[in-house]
Amino acid sequence: MTTAATDLRLDSRQAATGRRQRRIGGVLLAVENVSLRFGGVQALSGVSFDVRQGEIRAIIGPNGAGKSSMLNVINGFYQPQEGSFVWKGERLARMRPHLAATLGIARTFQNIALFKGMTTLDNIMTGRILKMRASFLEQALWWGRARREELAHRAFVERIIDFLEIQHIRHTPVGKLPYGLQKRVELARALAMEPELLLLDEPMAGMNLEEKEDMCRFILDVNEEFGTTVVLIEHDMGVVMDISDRVVVLDYGKLLADGTPDEVRNDPRVIEAYLGLVHD
Amino acid sequence: MIYRETGQFKASYAADQAIFRLVEDRIGMGAILFLAFVVMPLVGSQYWLETIMLPFLIYSLAAIGLNLLTGYAGQLSLGTGGFMACGAFSAYKLATAFPDLHVLLVLVLAGSITAAVGILFGLPSLRIKGFYLAVATLAAQFFLLWLFNRVPWFTNYSSSGVISAPPLAIFGDIWVTGFEATPVAKYLFTLSLVSILALAAKNMTRLKIGRAWMAIRDMDIAAEIIGIRPMTTKLSAFAISSFYCGIAGALWAFVYTGAVEALAFEINVSFRVLFMIIIGGLGTICGSFMGAAFIVLLPIFLNNTLLALGLAEAVALASHLEAMIMGALIIFFLIVEPHGLARLWQILKEKLRRWPFPY
Ligand SMILES: Nc1ncnc2c1ncn2[C@@H]1O[C@H](COP(=O)(O)OP(=O)(O)OP(=O)(O)O)[C@@H](O)[C@H]1O
Ligand SMILES: [Mg+2]
C-alpha cells in the first residue's frame, strides 16, 4: 500500500497529463454572461466560460476577485442578476442548490462546511442522501429498503474512506479532527454524491506540503479514474500550473484571461494583475 | 482504487450498524428491558407503577419528541406543552366521537393530528432561527391552550372544564384507561408504546431522515448543496416531533391522570421537557430517558430524604432545593456538557472497559 501510494505520487502528474488528454470530451457546463451584485458590490460582471467533460479547470485571481462567488452561482446558492447556464447542451435559466445536486454538481467550501456534530462516516453517508429511496416508515422500522440501502451505501462509502485513507477516523466526530483531515472528509462527502462536476474551493489552503501533495494526488486520481470533471480555485500557482488543463483568471469580477496554463502564464494582463502581486 | 473488495465487509457493516455494537451494551439493554417488562410489574407497588413509572415514561416520550426537533434538527421549541395538549384533546374528541375506535388507533390519529398542527406552527422555522423561533413556538403554546380553554367544542360542551377520559381497552376487557384499568395494565401498555416509539426514533436518527435533520442543524448551507431540502426537512422534524408529543399528551390525559384538561399542559410543562433534554443530552434518545428520570425522580427523592431526616416543612424545602439543583445543573450542562447525562455515561463506560478495537 505504501509503495503503491508513493509510486502514484511520483508519477501521477506525468500519468495524469498523459492520459487525461484523451479523455476530455465536449462542453459539460457553460456559464454565460453571469453578473452578480451584492448591494453596491459588483462581485461578477459578465463572466462567460465553459468546462469540458473530464477536464481539470482552475479558477484563479486575487482576493475578492469573485472566485468563490462564481462557484456559489454555479451550484445555485447565489442567484445572479444576469446570466444563464448550459448543462450538457441544455439551457437552464436558473440554478437551484437542489437542482445542482440532482444534476451531479458537488462542492467543497473555502471555510470547511462539515456537519460538526456528526462522525466522519455520517458526514460522508449524508452525501448519499439523494440516492436513498427508503420511505419514512421503512426507516422508522429499520426494514426493507431502509436496511438494504443503508448497507449498500455503507459499502460504497467505505470504498471512498479507503481511497482517501481516512479509515482510522471513521467514527470520530469531525469537529475534533485537525484541519487537514477535515478538508479530506469534506472531499469524501462530495465524492459520495458520485458527482459529474466537482467544485473545489481552495482545497489545499492552509495545508502543509505533504498534505498538499496528498490532496493533489486525490484530485488527480478522482479525475482520472472516474472521469470526474473538476473546477478548482487555488492560490498556489505551482499546483494550478501542474494539475489543471485550462485556467480562468478573474479580477475584480471580470474575466481577465482564459486558456491553458502556459497561455495564461504568459498573458501580460495576468502578469500585471495577478502574478505581479505575488512577486511584490 | 475505490472499486475493490466489494461485499466482503457486508456482514461486518451490518454488525457495525447495529444499535448496540458492544456485547456489554446488549446485555445491559436486555437487563433493563427485563427489569422493566417483567420484574417491575411483579414487584412494583401501585405507588411505583402509577406515581413514578407512568409520568416518567410519558415524560420520556415527550422528551424524545422534543429531542428530535431541538437536539437533532436544531429547531428550538417551547411549544411542547401545547402540542401535548393538542394530542390529549384530539384523542378525547376521537374517543368520544367514535366510541368503537381502538385505543391504538385513537393514539396514532391523535398523534397525526398533532403532527399536522406541528407542521403549521413549524412554518415560521423556514424564515427564522434560534431565539426568534423559540418565541414563535411559545405563541403556539399559548394559542393552543387558549383554544382548548375557550372553545367549548373541544370539551364536548362540558360545564366543569375537567372531563374524564373515556375507558378504552387494548383487547377484550383489558382496560388501559378509565376506572377499571389496573396499574399493571396501564404501566405495561405505556411501557410497550414508549419502547416501540423510542426504537423507531432511534432508527430514524441513524438513517436518512435523521442525517438530514442533523445536517440542517449543523450547517444548513452545506446540507442544501448536498440536495437536502431545508423546508421538507425542518417541517418533517416538526411533524414527527409533534406526533411524539401528541401521543405523550394523550397518554398523560387518558392513562396517567384520567382527566383531559388544558391546565395540565401549561408553559411550565414545555420548560420541564426542555430541561429534561438539556440535562439528559441534546441529540440522544437514551438521554431523553435519563433526563426524564432525573426530573421526575428528583422531587420525589428530595421529599423522601427530607421526610426521613425528620424535617418539618419538608415539602416547601424540597421544592426550593429542587429549583436550586435544577438551575445549577442546567447551567452546568449548557456550559460544560451539552450532550448531558448521556455523554457523561458514555465517558464513564469508555473508562470502564478495555475494548481492543477503537471502532
Ligand atoms: N454574501 C455576500 N454578501 C455581500 N458581499 C459578498 C458576499 N459574498 C461575496 N461578497 C463580495 O463579493 C466579492 C467577491 O468575493 P468572493 O468571496 O467571491 O472572492 P474570492 O475571489 O473568493 O476571494 P478569496 O480569494 O479571498 O476567497 C467580495 O468583494 C466580497 O466582499
Ligand atoms: Mg474565495
> Which A residues 234-273 touch B at CB under 8 Å?
none
Give the rounded percent of residues in chain B with a pLDDT score beyond 70. Answer: 92
pLDDT band for A14, please (50, 70, 90 cuts): very low
Is the residue at B1 inside a domain? Answer: no
pLDDT the model gives residue B12:
66
Long-range contacts of A252-257 (CB under 8 A, 24+ apart): A252/A42, A252/A64, A252/A65, A252/A66, A253/A36, A253/A42, A253/A43, A253/A44, A253/A45, A253/A47, A253/A65, A253/A66, A253/A69, A254/A45, A254/A46, A254/A47, A255/A46, A255/A47, A255/A48, A255/A49, A256/A61
Residue B231 lies in a domain: yes
Whether B317 and B306 have beta carbons less than 8 Å apart is answered as yes
Output the pLDDT for position B63.
Answer: 98
Dist CA A46 CA A33 (whole Å): 4
B164: domain CATH number?
1.10.3470
**pLDDT (0 to 100) of residue B314:** 67
Fold of A1-104+195-280: Rossmann fold (3.40.50)
pLDDT for position B252: 97
In a domain, residue B342? The reply is: yes
d(CA A206, CA A179): 8
Instruction: Give the pLDDT score at A5.
Output: 39
Q: So what's the pLDDT on residue B353?
A: 57
Tell me whether residue B3 is in a domain. Answer: no
Tell me: pLDDT of A8 over 50. no
Residue B75 lies in a domain: yes
Out of A73-87, A155-169, A260-274, pick the least confident: A260-274
CB B87, CB B250: distance < 8 Å: yes
Domain count, chain B: 1
| B226 min Cα distance to partner chain A (Å) | 6
* Three-state secondary structure call for residue B170: strand
Atom of ligand 1 nearest to the CA of A69: 18
Task: Find the mean pLDDT for residues A159-167.
Answer: 95
Predicted confidence band at A95 (pLDDT cuts at 50, 70, 90)?
very high
Q: What is the pLDDT of residue A13?
A: 46
| ipTM (interface pTM) | 0.88
- Asked whether residue A108 carries a pLDDT value surpassing 80, the answer given is yes
Confidence class for position A84, pLDDT limits 50, 70, 90? very high
Determine the residue among A124, A151, A171 to mutate to test chain B binding: the one whose Cβ has the most chain B Cβ atoms within 10 Å. A151
Tell me what pLDDT residue A22 has. 43
Residue B78 distance to chain A (closest CA, Å): 23
Mean pLDDT, residues A205-220:
92
Q: Record the cell numbers describing residue B62, joined without a space.
A: 415527550
Tell me which residue range forms the domain holding B96: 20-354
Q: Flag whether pLDDT at A163 surpasses 70.
A: yes
Probe ligand 1: pick from A36, A37, A38, A254, max atoms within 8 Å of CB? A38
Q: Note whether residue B12 is domain-resident.
A: no
Domain ranges of chain A: 1-104+195-280, 114-194
Q: What is the pLDDT of residue B334?
A: 84
pLDDT at A135 > cutoff 70: yes
- Enter the pTM of the model: 0.90
Q: What is the pLDDT of residues A213-247, one digit of tens each?
A: 999 999 999 999 889 999 999 998 889 999 999 99
Contact criterion met (CB below 8 Å) for A195 and A182: no
Burial (CB < 10 A; 0-12, 13-18, 19+), residue A194, is middle
CA of A51 to the centre of ligand 2 (A): 19
pLDDT at A279 over 70: no
Residue B222 lies in a domain: yes
**Residues of chain B under the 50 pLDDT cut:** 1-10, 354-359
Mutation target among B207, B241, B350 for the A interface, most CBs of A within 10 A: B207
